Amino acid sequence: MKRPMQGASLTYGIVQDLGIAIVTGRYAHDKPFPVEGDLCKQYQVSRSILREAVKMLTAKGLLRARPRQGTWVQPEARWNLLDPDVLKWLLERKFDPSLLLEFNQIRLGFEPAAAARAALADPAHKAEIKAALDRMKAAESGADDPLESDIAFHVSILKASENRFFFQLTELTETALRFSIRRTNDYKGVALADVEDHARVWRAIEAGDPDTASEEMRHLIQAALDLLGKAKVAAEA
Which pairs with CB-CB distance under 8 Å and at least 24 residues apart come from 186-195? 187/227, 187/228, 187/230, 187/231, 188/227, 191/146, 192/139, 192/140, 192/146, 193/136, 193/146, 193/150, 194/223, 195/133, 195/136, 195/137, 195/140
Please answer whether residues 16 and 53 qualify as being in contact, where contact means their C-beta atoms are separated by less than 8 angstroms.
no
Question: Looking at residue 180, what is its pLDDT?
Answer: 85
Fold of 95-236: Four Helix Bundle (Hemerythrin (Met), subunit A) (1.20.120)
Question: Looking at residue 191, what is its pLDDT?
Answer: 55
Provide the whole-model pTM: 0.83
Question: Looking at residue 148, what is its pLDDT?
Answer: 94
Question: Looking at residue 31, what is its pLDDT?
Answer: 78
Average pLDDT over every residue of 52-77: 91
Higher pLDDT, 24 or 30: 24
Please answer whether residues 112 and 226 qualify as being in contact, where contact means their C-beta atoms are separated by less than 8 angstroms.
no
Average pLDDT over every residue of 59-67: 90
Which CATH number is correct for 7-78, 3.30.56.10, 3.40.50.620, 1.10.10.10, 3.40.720.10? 1.10.10.10
Question: Looking at residue 237, what is its pLDDT?
Answer: 67
pLDDT band of residue 194 (cuts 50, 70, 90) is: confident
Distance between CA atoms of residues 236 and 232, nearest Å? 6
Domain ranges in the chain are 7-78, 95-236
